[in-house]
């Protein structure tokens, strides 16, 4: 057992994008920082992996569209190696055996009535106004509820003011729709089922809900507000996959002086006199630090690394009840050629493709998951990264990356029993939209939620770490007692997707956690 | 009957909220006339003799939510209203087992402990949290929700009141409140209970009357809404109205008449007359016009503005919002005359359970699948039922030795995917429910003397509730408080001066509560400067 | 056909009876029973005064069976309990008992009870109310099993100056060597009895724990052995008198369990209840520690104290004021009794700062019925030390034959 005596100002547990962003900001503020990553490579779920010989793919998220442009600039990620394979990518809502609907910014092309086109533009601009008003809420640390502190009250008032500034009409509409379900809202606006389905998919992506669930408009607004921060770049594909983002973040952190250690599994955080004073690795090595910031999910951070014996019962109960079961799977296909999606114009070859032809389609896909079954006809978000970035596959070969809804963490009968049938079902679905695709498949990899749990050490395999639902959102995320990146123990902080504003490759949680650590140290 | 001089206030619809509003206005000295389309009063709170000497509470069937302050102010007991409590309740299971709910705390604990020892004690925490939330919401029920976009002192004062009310809770309880308002009943119950049967029993009230499943966010609030009658710590808050639910509206009518108000039945209002943006009276179906200073509509917001007011008189934006207001038919009802008391082998002989609400849905999944059927435009193949035999407690409901059974059914769509409702489909729906009950009661079918089957379509036609929705609008959070029924018009007032809403479409929503009627009357009196509040 | 089952017919007997019930019913002269934790228990057998003096003068038997008992066992049992309760249990030896309280996150008291260390990794926790829900949620992350064993153990409290002598007469050799808060196992005519030197009377006394199968035999043997020592069965009313004299708290009377309170601001911390001696901030983390530490730093806003009140009318539920005019309310009485032994009118009361300081004078508003003519009296009350009655014999080992 090695006792290493070096002491750091800060230890960041986990080298995912939030952990790295946190480390970079801390190091830039002059802190000595050590990042400890359990795996042999960085990035967590924002990594690029080789899933078949010569074929590489973004392991988790496969698009970058929510990371604030300001964060990319502040950390100079482009200087640290981030390049773009594609930007401002359009979205195509696919229809089986018919022309797709192509959404490219303001433009809507394809089988839509003039009324739908107009409604699309109105809806986009209204949601755009809402997103702009809400983005500061997403970008900054939420106030804490029920305190007497003026900073929290002012922060609440600020939110109220931003919403009021929308004007009476917009404000009323925002207050009405905020708690609504996407199904009702989208059928109010559009007659095209394809269009309804496309927005409906965005509303439920990464969540544990179907479009009829109240609260799904909130998740849609959330997504749009996050994208607002990304600015002009829109949907983008980093060259080399999402792993390139993590690499750039790591480079930025290192450049600022942070030390990063791989294959360093943290067994627990050390507690001395009711304060977190460092970590102990599985190897037995102990490392002291003034602050420990965990980018792991809340259950792992609080119940695993720290442990209930340092926490109060009701608090533990809350963390224990966090809904953290993932519902999305990731499918990677290595293809011998480029699949032909019917009716897709060549100019839209790099588009994000959606298979969600209608709200009822998504709702039916969701039905299965309620009973621990996988969707027979799943809703899918597809990218063909090799169209824009040939480096990801051998010459002439292609990669298809799909986010698959719904694939419940707890599958009746277990995943091993159903894995092949599920993959085959997804390929059947794809075949309906891209005839001949099955014949191109040379290799496949399915990451079901239990695989995501194992691979990326996220309990429940949920890429948001915890459901984005109204009771796990904003000022109460992840749970009261652990908001504002703090935990009940001084010296211990959270910076992962379990914090506000949640998952998606944003880096905001990491940045805000770093700011909080610094602010508290300055005030101490 | 009295002179035909111009009334001050006309109230469209003699449902319980219309009558409550009428009573308050008449007591304030206004000349009030209530107009009812049907030849009888009561709306959805009626007692009807449709077969022999049986009395059917053929729409609403228990009196749990009627605000005690209304009963007291309007002297309803003096005018004949008597609420009789019932105890018990149970869910019968498909495997022959059951879960009984007893009033006695210790008996209940041991009963739940048969299914889970942990749940038996978690029940106390559950009950505590429900009571805490009810106590939080209770003061909001009889208040007018503020308009958050307004700068009027009254609205700002109310908003501050709401904010302060919330802030005082402290972080942990604010969080609990948020959970209650936003979670699904299934997730919420998962935080307390491990046993499926316990969760299924508790989840029932989360779906009654709503077009949501137990896994839909927001259903924990519906659950709470149904508990609201439990909190007044007074005996007899929960129970049957003696003589059926019509006794509620009969006593209201008597109270109204004692204060000088009048009621005309078979007087269906065809149009609300509008002149210069102001409602000036109504036109009846036979062409008769009655003018009045003010009109209060007890009809739901859609029926009021889409059927009864000329759309030219309303802003297009408002109309669009009215059209978008969600009123969904999701419930059916069977009223059954029985030749004797059916047996339920799962329930021990002599148990009070059969004198309370009985259910047969023993898992959340079964309930959720019942909802899935509804989403596809079909009635549930294995429906959730809330079944009561009031004649065991109230001897006036059926001849001696015979019994009246009320069966509330969730889910039943207003529009079937297979085409319009007809007699054969109605019968098939009824048979589904009867077969469901018969699985738990071998002699049930042989005891049936008469069964009235009511689909949402029937309820709409008879009672006038759009889609037969019992709450006059879904109780989802986009339709509560200042959003109910329409953002900007949540204070009982409408775009037309002199026209008010007083039905369950308004805050705080449905159930035989009377709060919307009382709140609407208060808004009217304030506008007329007849009160200081 | 239709033969209904009797499974779950709890409506037939909502309250259970203890294994001693037949004996108790035979002794009950006034037929006065009250429910306690799901059981029918005796409130008064014959006469509260006589039952009271049995405790202070001779020897009393009180049926403790409804006391809720949990078995807590497993490799993490000690760590678990130490995180649950506010006291340092790491020092608790096998065959020792500890009186403890436990709190919620806010540092408000949920309940009090006694922890018996049966073995290295096995404990028994006795409480007045059920709280499996809290205990199980507190066990998240601990390797420990918790089960309620109330029905598996019958229990009697044998309390009073002659109690040790009675047990000796019963043949429990060596029972006199038990120190306060110690327990041991004894055999008597085929019965295995766990005897702990614990009680709720503040006097010399023991609690006896046996298999329910032996309950009646134990009762009969005790009554026979104690006949010459003035043994008498007592009910809850007499027990309530002696526990106030001893300064012990009763949940739902002196405090409301923080986990069942509905209103804001009604639950209390152990510091406020005058139980600071049970709170060990140095032992490591326990639920409520951080909140209690904060309260400790800020100082107490109120505290439960003993009062000595003028007159002889128990000041039950009385409101307390700073002066005779009753202009400023500063608290209320939670429990009150005329102490026949101390000849004092005593009470436990929750009093706001700074009036809870020892020696403070307060005024209690007492209502007196003079043959149904009611009078309001302002009675002078003084904050005094607890317990009101603490005889030396309660601690002496071995106890004499008092």
For residue C82, the chain A residue with the least C-alpha distance is A309
Q: What is the pLDDT of residue B151?
A: 84
- Residues of chain A in contact with residue B330, where contact means CB-CB under 8 angstroms, are none
- Asked if B98 lies within 8 A of C8 by C-beta distance, the reply is yes
- Asked if A310 lies within 8 A of C138 by C-beta distance, the reply is no
> Residue A336: is it exposed, middle or buried by C-beta count within 10 angstroms (0-12/13-18/19+)?
middle
Q: B195 by DSSP, 3-state: which?
A: coil
- Residues of chain C in contact with residue A274, where contact means CB-CB under 8 angstroms, are 285, 289-290
Residues of chain B whose C-beta is under 8 A from some C-beta in C? Answer: 88, 96-100, 102, 104, 106-111, 114, 117-118, 120-122, 124-125, 128, 131-132, 135, 168-170, 172-173, 343-353, 442-443
Which residues of B, range 446-485, sit inside 8 Å of A by Cβ? Answer: 476-478, 482-483
- Residues of chain A in contact with residue B485, where contact means CB-CB under 8 angstroms, are none
CB nearest C290 (choices: A313, A316, A488): A488
Per-residue model confidence as pLDDT tens digits over B25-51: 999 999 999 999 999 999 999 999 999
If phi > 0 it is left, if psi is from -120 to 50 it is alpha, else beta; for residue A130 that is alpha
Q: What is the pLDDT of residue A1?
A: 41
- Residue B95 C-alpha, separation from nearest chain A C-alpha, in angstroms: 20
For residue A312, the chain C residue with the least C-alpha distance is C287
Q: What is the pLDDT of residue B379?
A: 98
Mean pLDDT over the full length of chain C: 96
Q: What is the pLDDT of residue B232?
A: 57
- Asked if C142 lies within 8 A of A308 by C-beta distance, the reply is yes
If you classify domain A3-46+241-322+468-523 with CATH, what class do you get? alpha beta
For residue C285, the chain A residue with the least C-alpha distance is A310
Angstrom distances, CA of residue A200 to CA of A184, A467, B118: 10, 17, 40
pLDDT less than 50: residues of chain A: 1-5
- Res. B180: pLDDT tops 80: yes
Handedness of CA A489, A495, A501, A502 (dihedral sign): negative
Put simply, whether C136 touches B (Cβ < 8 Å) is: yes
- Residue B203 C-alpha, separation from nearest chain A C-alpha, in angstroms: 16
- Asked if C9 lies within 8 A of B350 by C-beta distance, the reply is yes
- Residues of chain B in contact with residue A144, where contact means CB-CB under 8 angstroms, are 171
Per-residue model confidence as pLDDT tens digits over C119-168: 999 999 999 999 999 999 999 999 999 999 999 999 999 999 999 999 99
For residue C83, the chain A residue with the least C-alpha distance is A309
For residue C39, the chain B residue with the least C-alpha distance is B106
Q: In this predicted complex, what is the ipTM?
A: 0.95
- Asked if A316 lies within 8 A of C137 by C-beta distance, the reply is yes
For residue C86, the chain A residue with the least C-alpha distance is A312
The CATH architecture to which C276-384 belongs is Beta Barrel (2.40)
Subunits with at least 3 CB pairs below 8 A relative to chain A?
Answer: B, C
- Asked if B487 lies within 8 A of A173 by C-beta distance, the reply is yes
- Residue B450 C-alpha, separation from nearest chain A C-alpha, in angstroms: 37
- Asked if B149 lies within 8 A of A168 by C-beta distance, the reply is yes
Please name the residues in contact with B114: beta carbons below 8 A apart, sequence gap of 6 or more: B99, C7, C8
Closest CA to B113 of C209, C150, C126: C150
CB nearest B216 (choices: A172, A188, A213): A213
- Asked if C106 lies within 8 A of B443 by C-beta distance, the reply is no
CB nearest A316 (choices: C79, C140, C289): C140
Length of chain C equals 402
Put simply, whether B533 touches A (Cβ < 8 Å) is: no
- Asked if C137 lies within 8 A of A303 by C-beta distance, the reply is no
Percent of chain B with pLDDT over 70: 97
For residue A480, the chain C residue with the least C-alpha distance is C105
Q: What is the pLDDT of residue B230?
A: 59
Percent of chain A with pLDDT over 90: 89
User: What global pTM score does this model have?
Assistant: 0.95
CATH number of C3-65+153-245: 3.30.1360.120
Per-residue model confidence as pLDDT tens digits over C75-134: 999 999 999 999 999 999 999 999 999 999 999 999 999 999 999 999 999 999 999 999
CB nearest B215 (choices: A180, A314, A370): A370
Whether residue B81 contacts residue B251, with contact meaning beta carbons closer than 8 Å, is answered with yes
Whether residue A487 contacts residue A493, with contact meaning beta carbons closer than 8 Å, is answered with yes
Per-residue model confidence as pLDDT tens digits over B81-93: 999 888 789 999 9
Put simply, whether C9 touches B (Cβ < 8 Å) is: yes
- Asked if C105 lies within 8 A of A314 by C-beta distance, the reply is yes
Per-residue model confidence as pLDDT tens digits over C223-265: 999 999 999 999 999 999 999 999 999 999 999 999 999 888 9
- Asked if A317 lies within 8 A of C290 by C-beta distance, the reply is no
Calculate mean pLDDT across residues B208-237.
Answer: 79
For residue B165, the chain A residue with the least C-alpha distance is A146
Put simply, whether B149 touches A (Cβ < 8 Å) is: yes
- Residues of chain B in contact with residue A169, where contact means CB-CB under 8 angstroms, are 317
Please name the residues in contact with C25: beta carbons below 8 A apart, sequence gap of 6 or more: none
For the domain made up of C68-151, give the CATH fold: Alpha-Beta Plaits (3.30.70)
Put simply, whether B187 touches A (Cβ < 8 Å) is: yes
Which residue of C3, C4, C8 to mutate against B (max B Cβ within 10 Å)?
A: C8
Per-residue model confidence as pLDDT tens digits over B301-352: 999 999 999 999 999 999 999 999 999 999 999 999 999 999 999 999 999 9
Put simply, whether B172 touches A (Cβ < 8 Å) is: yes
Confidence band for C298, pLDDT divided at 50, 70 and 90: very high
Residue A368 CA to chain centroid, in angstroms? 23
- Asked if C285 lies within 8 A of A274 by C-beta distance, the reply is yes
CA dihedral A196, A201, A204, A207 (to 10 degrees): 170
CA angle A409, A413, A415 (to 5 degrees): 45
CB nearest A317 (choices: C137, C284, C289): C137
Q: What is the pLDDT of residue B172?
A: 85
CA angle C348, C352, C356 (to 5 degrees): 60
Whether residue C61 contacts residue C222, with contact meaning beta carbons closer than 8 Å, is answered with yes
Residue B457 CA to chain centroid, in angstroms? 17
Q: In what order do the strands lie in the sheet with C122-127?
A: C97-103, C109-119, C122-127, C68-73, C145-148
**In chain A, where are the structural domains located?**
3-46+241-322+468-523, 109-228
CA distance B22 to B511: 18
Q: What is the pLDDT of residue A154?
A: 85
Put simply, whether B80 touches A (Cβ < 8 Å) is: no
- Asked if B148 lies within 8 A of A479 by C-beta distance, the reply is no
Where are the extended beta strands (E) located within C58-133? 59-63, 68-73, 97-103, 109-119, 122-127
**In chain C, where are the structural domains located?**
3-65+153-245, 68-151, 276-384
Which residue of C6, C11, C17 to mutate against B (max B Cβ within 10 Å)?
A: C11
- Chain A to chain B Cβ contacts (< 8 Å): 95
- Residue C181 C-alpha, separation from nearest chain B C-alpha, in angstroms: 30
- Asked if A321 lies within 8 A of B191 by C-beta distance, the reply is yes
- Residue A301 C-alpha, separation from nearest chain B C-alpha, in angstroms: 21
Closest CA to A23 of A260, A275, A245: A260
CB nearest B124 (choices: C4, C5, C260): C260
Q: What is the pLDDT of residue A9?
A: 97
- Res. C346: pLDDT tops 60: yes
């Amino acid at each position: 057992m090695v006792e290493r005596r070096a002491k750091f100002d800060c230890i960041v547990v986990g080298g995912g994008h939030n952990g790295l962003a946190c480390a970079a900001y801390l190091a830039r503020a002059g802190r000595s920082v050590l990042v400890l990553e359990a795996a042999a490579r960085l990035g967590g779920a924002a990594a690029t992996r080789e899933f078949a010989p010569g074929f590489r793919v973004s392991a988790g998220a496969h698009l970058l569209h929510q990371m604030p442009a300001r964060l990319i600039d502040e950390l100079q990620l482009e200087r640290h190696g981030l390049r773009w394979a594609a930007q401002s990518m359009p979205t195509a809502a696919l229809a089986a055996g018919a022309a797709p609907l192509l959404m490219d910014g303001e433009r809507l092309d394809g089988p839509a009535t003039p009324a739908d086109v107009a409604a699309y533009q109105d809806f986009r601009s209204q949601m755009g106004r809402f997103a702009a008003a809400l983005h500061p809420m997403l970008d900054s640390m939420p106030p804490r509820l029920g305190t007497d502190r003026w900073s929290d009250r002012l922060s609440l008032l600020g939110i109220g003011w931003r919403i009021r500034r929308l004007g009476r009409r917009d404000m009323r509409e925002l207050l009405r729709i905020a708690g609504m379900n996407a199904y009702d809202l989208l059928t109010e606006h559009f007659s095209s089922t394809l269009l309804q389905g496309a927005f409906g998919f965005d509303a439920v992506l990464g969540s544990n809900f179907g479009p009829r669930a109240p609260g799904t408009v909130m998740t849609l607004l959330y997504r749009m507000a996050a994208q607002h921060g990304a600015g002009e770049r829109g949907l983008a594909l980093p060259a080399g996959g999402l792993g390139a983002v993590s690499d750039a973040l790591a480079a930025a952190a290192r450049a600022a002086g942070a030390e990063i250690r791989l294959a360093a599994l943290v067994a627990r955080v050390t507690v001395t006199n009711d304060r977190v004073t460092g970590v102990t690795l599985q190897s037995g090595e102990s490392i002291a630090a003034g602050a420990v910031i965990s980018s792991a999910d809340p259950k792992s951070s609080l119940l695993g690394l720290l442990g209930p014996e340092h926490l109060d019962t009701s608090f533990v109960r809350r963390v224990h009840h966090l809904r953290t079961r993932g519902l999305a799977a990731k499918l990677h296909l290595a293809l011998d050629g480029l699949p032909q999606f019917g009716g897709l114009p060549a100019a839209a070859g790099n588009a994000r493709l959606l298979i969600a032809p209608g709200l009822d389609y998504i709702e039916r896909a969701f039905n299965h998951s309620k009973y621990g079954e996988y969707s027979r006809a799943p809703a899918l978000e597809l990218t063909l990264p090799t169209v824009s970035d040939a480096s990801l596959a051998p010459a002439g070969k292609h990669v298809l990356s799909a986010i698959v809804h719904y694939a419940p963490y707890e599958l009746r009968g277990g995943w091993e029993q159903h894995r092949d049938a599920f993959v085959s079902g997804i390929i059947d679905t794809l075949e309906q939209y891209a005839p001949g695709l099955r014949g191109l498949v040379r290799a496949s990899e399915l990451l079901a939620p239990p695989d995501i749990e194992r691979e990326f050490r996220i309990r429940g395999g949920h890429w948001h770490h915890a459901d984005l639902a109204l009771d796990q959102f904003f000022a109460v995320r992840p749970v009261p007692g652990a908001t504002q990146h703090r935990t009940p123990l001084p010296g211990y902080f959270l910076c992962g997707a379990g914090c506000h504003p949640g998952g998606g490759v944003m880096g905001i949680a990491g940045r805000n956690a770093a700011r909080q650590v610094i602010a508290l140290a300055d005030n101490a | 009957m009295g002179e035909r001089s111009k009334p001050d206030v006309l109230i469209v619809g003699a449902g319980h909220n219309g009558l409550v509003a009428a009573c308050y206005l008449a007591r304030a000295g206004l000349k009030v006339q209530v107009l009812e389309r049907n030849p009888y009063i009561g709306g959805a709170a009626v007692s009807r003799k449709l077969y022999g000497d049986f009395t059917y509470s053929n729409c609403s069937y228990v009196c749990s939510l009627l605000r005690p302050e209304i009963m007291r102010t309007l002297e309803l007991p003096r005018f004949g209203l008597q609420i009789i409590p019932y105890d018990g309740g149970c869910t019968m299971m498909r495997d022959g087992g059951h879960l009984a709910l007893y009033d006695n705390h210790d008996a209940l604990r041991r009963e739940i402990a048969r299914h889970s020892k942990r749940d038996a004690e978690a029940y106390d925490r559950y009950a505590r949290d429900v009571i805490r939330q009810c106590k939080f919401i209770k003061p909001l029920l009889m208040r007018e929700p503020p308009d958050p976009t307004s700068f009027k002192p009254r609205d700002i004062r109310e908003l501050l009141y709401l904010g302060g009310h919330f802030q005082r809770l402290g972080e942990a309880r604010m969080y609990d409140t948020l959970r209650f308002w936003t979670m699904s009943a299934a997730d919420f119950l998962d935080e307390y209970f491990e046993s499926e049967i316990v969760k299924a029993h508790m989840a029932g009230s989360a779906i009654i009357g709503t077009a949501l499943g137990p896994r839909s966010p927001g259903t924990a609030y519906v659950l709470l809404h149904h508990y609201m009658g439990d909190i007044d710590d007074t005996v007899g808050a929960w129970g049957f109205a003696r003589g059926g639910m019509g006794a509620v509206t009969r006593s209201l009518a008597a109270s109204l008449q004692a204060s000088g108000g009048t009621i005309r039945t078979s007087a269906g209002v065809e149009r609300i007359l509008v002149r210069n943006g102001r409602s000036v009276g109504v036109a009846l179906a036979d062409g008769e016009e009655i003018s009045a200073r003010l009109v209060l509509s007890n009809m739901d917001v859609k029926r009021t503005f889409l059927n009864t007011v000329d759309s030219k008189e309303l802003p297009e934006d408002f109309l669009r919002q009215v059209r978008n207001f969600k009123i969904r038919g999701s419930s059916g009802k069977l009223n059954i005359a029985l030749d004797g008391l059916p047996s339920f082998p799962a329930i021990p002989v002599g148990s009070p359970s059969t004198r309370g609400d009985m259910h047969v849905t023993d898992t959340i999944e079964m309930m959720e699948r019942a909802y899935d059927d509804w989403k596809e435009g079909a009635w549930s193949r294995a429906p959730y039922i809330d079944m009561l035999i009031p004649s065991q407690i109230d001897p006036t409901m059926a001849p001696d030795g015979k019994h009246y059974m009320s069966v509330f059914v969730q889910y039943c769509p207003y529009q079937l995917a297979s085409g319009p409702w007809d007699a054969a489909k109605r019968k098939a729906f009824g048979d589904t429910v009867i077969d469901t009950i018969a699985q738990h009661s071998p002699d049930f079918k042989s005891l049936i003397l008469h069964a009235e089957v009511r689909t949402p379509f029937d309820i709409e036609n008879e009672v006038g509730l759009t889609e037969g929705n019992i709450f006059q609008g879904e109780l989802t959070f986009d339709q509560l408080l200042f959003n109910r029924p329409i953002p900007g018009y949540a204070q009982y007032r409408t775009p037309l001066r002199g026209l008010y809403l007083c039905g369950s479409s308004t805050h705080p929503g449905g159930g035989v509560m009377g709060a919307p009627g009382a709140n609407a009357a208060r808004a009217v009196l304030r506008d007329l400067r007849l009160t200081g509040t | 056909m239709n033969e209904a089952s009797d499974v779950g017919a709890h409506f037939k007997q909502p309250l259970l009876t203890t294994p001693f019930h037949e004996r108790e019913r035979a002794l009950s002269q006034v037929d006065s029973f009250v429910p306690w934790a799901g059981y029918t228990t005796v409130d008064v057998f014959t006469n509260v005064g006589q039952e009271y003096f049995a405790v202070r003068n001779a020897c009393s038997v009180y049926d403790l069976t409804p006391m809720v008992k949990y078995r807590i066992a497993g490799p993490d049992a000690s760590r678990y309990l130490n995180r649950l309760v506010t006291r340092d249990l790491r020092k608790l030896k096998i065959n020792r008992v500890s009186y403890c309280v436990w709190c919620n996150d806010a540092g408000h008291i949920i309940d009090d009870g006694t922890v018996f260390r049966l073995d290295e990794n096995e404990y028994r926790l006795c409480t007045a109310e059920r709280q499996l829900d809290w205990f199980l949620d507190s066990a998240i992350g601990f390797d420990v099993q918790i089960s309620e064993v109330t029905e598996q153990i019958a229990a009697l409290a044998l309390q009073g100056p002659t109690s040790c002598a009675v047990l000796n007469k019963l043949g429990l050799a060596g029972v006199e060597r038990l120190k306060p808060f110690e327990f041991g196992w004894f055999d008597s005519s085929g019965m295995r009895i766990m005897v702990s030197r614990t009680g709720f009377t503040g006097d010399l006394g023991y609690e006896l724990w046996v298999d329910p199968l032996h309950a009646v035999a134990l009762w009969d043997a005790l009554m026979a052995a104690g006949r010459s020592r003035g043994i008498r069965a007592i009910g809850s009313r007499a027990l309530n008198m002696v526990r106030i004299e001893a300064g012990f708290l009763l949940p739902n009377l002196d405090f409301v369990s923080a986990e069942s309170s509905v209103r804001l601001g009604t639950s209390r911390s152990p510091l406020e209840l005058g139980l600071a001696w049970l709170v060990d901030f140095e032992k490591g983390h326990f639920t409520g520690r951080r909140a209690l530490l904060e309260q400790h730093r800020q100082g107490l806003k109120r505290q439960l104290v003993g009062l000595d009140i003028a007159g002889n009318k128990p000041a039950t539920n009385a409101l307390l004021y700073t002066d005779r005019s009753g202009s400023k309310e500063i608290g209320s009485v939670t429990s009150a009794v005329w102490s026949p032994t101390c000849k004092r009118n005593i009470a436990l009361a929750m009093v706001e700062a700074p009036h809870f300081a020892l020696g403070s004078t307060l005024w209690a508003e007492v209502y007196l019925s003079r043959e149904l003519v009611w009078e309001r009296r302002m009675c002078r009350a003084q904050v005094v030390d607890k317990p009101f009655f603490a005889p030396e014999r309660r601690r002496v080992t071995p106890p004499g034959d008092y």
